[in-house]
Structure 1
Amino acid sequence: MQRGIVESDTFQDRLLKLLPAELTAVFLAIRSVVELGSGNTPQIGAWLSFFIIVVLTLATPVVLGVFRTGVDWSLRLFMAATFLIWSLNIDIGNVLLISHGELVPLVQMVLPILVILWAGIAWPSFAHFSGKH
């Protein structure tokens, strides 16, 4: 898949090209290691995974600036939010593990809805109004 966005790209292709592949690969690799190593201490693994999500979310604008010159700050911050929502949804098991009792049902409902809204409304709206489509 070509890294540059072209007019004929579908929404999914555009999103995949914008999320930094380096960070998504790092996240998925670390997540696998944390899952294997947490064994008898799943709570520690869940907090470590959450910490990694926060660090990589904060790194997203920096990585976009370094590897993709010409990307403005609004898009960098938007993609950081996209990475955060994507990674929390991928790691929902650990998010639920560190959520407290009464928050678990709320988290179970809110995260998938947030992903749907983000992908279906927020991203296309941002792309349209910022001229990034």
Structure 2
Amino acid sequence: MKVSTLRLHTPGLKSNIVQAIEALVAYAEQHKDRRVHAMQFPEFCGIVGFPITTTQAEVVKLMSQARKATASIRVFETSPPKKREILAGSWPVFNFFFISQGQIWFEICEYMWEELPTVA
């Protein structure tokens, strides 16, 4: 039998940044038909849960920290005689994040949408 896990790693990031990352990944997952997501600054703040009074400079600072987030996959074979890891990998969550003149563009790494190996 194979067991797969996909995890988000956010070492040392504040909870509001982790919340923003999770919100952007969820947003991108709902809009997989687009690789690059673009939105106005107020829409972005609403999606990620930042106060509307958050400045562009603050968002730049916060999202530069968000770039530290990674995702990983681990696949284990659990059949006897022992459990063993047969696949492991990791990647950055964001391919890029760009903020300019009240607009925000970002792209989530395409590996976030890969099908995990199923239990066999």
TM-score interval, normalised by the smaller of the two chains: 0.3 to 0.5
Normalising to structure 1: TM-score of the pair? 0.31
- From the two aligned structures, give the one with the greater helix fraction: 1
Structure with higher RCO (Cα < 8 A, 6+ apart): 2
Q: Which one has the largest radius of gyration? A: 2
- From the two aligned structures, give the one with the greater strand fraction: 2
